[in-house]
Amino acid sequence: MKKLLIVSPYFPPVNAADMQRVRMSIPYFAANGWEVEVVIVDEQYSDLPIDQLLLQSIPGDVRIHKVKALPKNLTSKFGLGSIALRSLLFYKKKIKSLLKSKQYDLIYFSTTQFPVCILGAYFKKRFGIPYVIDMQDPWHSDYYQDKPKAQRPRKYWFSYRLNKYLEPIAMNSADGLISVSDHYITDLKNRYPRIQHIPAATITFGAFEPDMEIAEKNQSNFPKLLDDSHVNIVYVGRGGADMQKAVSTLFKAFKAGLDSGNKALEALRFYFIGTSYAPAGEGKPSILPVADHFGVAGNVTEITDRISYYHTLLTLKQTDVLFIPGSDDPKYTASKIYPYLLTQKPILAIFNASSSAIDIMKEYGVKQVYNYDTVTDDDINTFLLSIVQGNEPLPNYNEEAADKYSARQMTVEQCKLFDRVISGKN
């Protein structure tokens, strides 16, 4: 059995989007010839929500190593709150100890806490061990360079320069790349000629069916967020300026339907939940201002506070319709689509025309998936009216597509790349 050491700062019970790939893959690695151990940051050093139910999806025989991190209340005084930077030296010490005591075949960095990836170059030089980086998001990106200051993330000036310095350290020595987007791989290989020919694969997140069972088994733990006196349309996920084009397309069409005298549409209530990464109670609405601009704020509820993963799944299951807005960044891919598809609910999705999510959802058999440059008000309102009138049947998704994009199959694809890396095949 080959041995894989996974580096994922966030891990259950921490509820973080970037640990989902690892969490959903762990049950399937052994069947593909890989014994895994995971090095994580102890949850006491995280300021993200804790969801103990996430631990129910982790096999009991997987070895988990925990490292410390500098306290955030100390480092934030110097503007350094990132868990990657706070844990970097502890990671270095722990992984060095593991590599001295045991033979591993590969290190796999699967996280958006990218600064920890620079350790790959160090351990490769010191121990000769190859490493793979999972690019779930861009690391160093110019996306916000031409955006107004108000639309840029907090501490953008610092993070942009730090990423520009750290990314080449990690990338120039990498032995393999996994990404959720073809664009990310292309950009990196163009930026770093040294990795032009290393193994690379575009592998999305997968649909992990056991999660829905865990959610339904524990539904009594979660308050209901939706008002059943309305016909509810729900999106759970981050907001932000890059989502506003898709959201604006929906609200513009909805307003046009109301103005045309279509009173049946007044029964609709749109919920946008967990739109901010800010601590509970401190998030600023990013969707309601758009709704107000189009004059439909009375039909929109925005809850900026994030909710737990299984609370999310239950809320998606309890709604009438699901809405998925895509980013205006053409390189962005919405990995969140798989939990939505597991619910077997009608979906309305509006993406950038270049998003890979459009083709994936069409492969599943989702009918109302559009790009915001060509979708019409009639397209949207015809669907919304069918929902209000109860004429929209529940979807019957393509079983072959469901298997192709399952977490099990996505793990198979990861392991194929690992095998190529350690065998020296491109």
pLDDT at res. 160: 59
Cα–Cα dist 130/104, whole Å: 10
CB burial of 217-256 (b: ≥16 within 10 Å; e: otherwise) equals eeeeebeebbeeebbbbbbbbbbbbbbbbbbbbbbbbbbb
pLDDT tens, residue by residue, 305-341: 989 899 999 999 999 999 999 988 876 766 678 888 8
pLDDT at res. 116: 96
Asked whether residue 78 carries a pLDDT value surpassing 50, the answer given is: yes
Q: What are φ and ψ of residue 199, in 5° steps? A: -60, 135
More confident residue, 62 or 137: 62
The reported pTM is 0.84
Cα–Cα dist 187/142, whole Å: 12
Out of 70-74, 192-196, 274-278, pick the least confident: 70-74
More confident residue, 402 or 41: 41
- Torsion, Cα of 106, 107, 110, 116 (10° steps): -160
76 exposed, middle or buried (CB, 10 Å; 0-12, 13-18, 19+)? middle
- Tokens 């490292």 locate to 67
pLDDT at res. 157: 47
- Torsion, Cα of 163, 164, 166, 168 (10° steps): 130
Classify residue 33 as left (phi > 0), alpha (psi -120 to 50) or beta: left
More confident residue, 274 or 338: 274
| Cα–Cα distances in angstroms (integers) from residue 90 to residues 42, 73, 86, in the given order | 11, 18, 8
pLDDT at res. 142: 55
Asked whether residue 426 carries a pLDDT value surpassing 60, the answer given is: yes
Mean pLDDT for 134-154 is: 68
73 exposed, middle or buried (CB, 10 Å; 0-12, 13-18, 19+)? exposed
Cα–Cα dist 273/263, whole Å: 26
Mean pLDDT for 26-53 is: 95
For the beta carbon of residue 263, count every other beta carbon within 10 angstroms: 10
Cα–Cα dist 207/28, whole Å: 13
Cα–Cα dist 40/189, whole Å: 28
Give residue 279's pLDDT band: very low, low, confident or very high (50, 70, 90). Answer: confident
Of 201, 206, 204, 205, the C-alpha closest to 189 is: 201
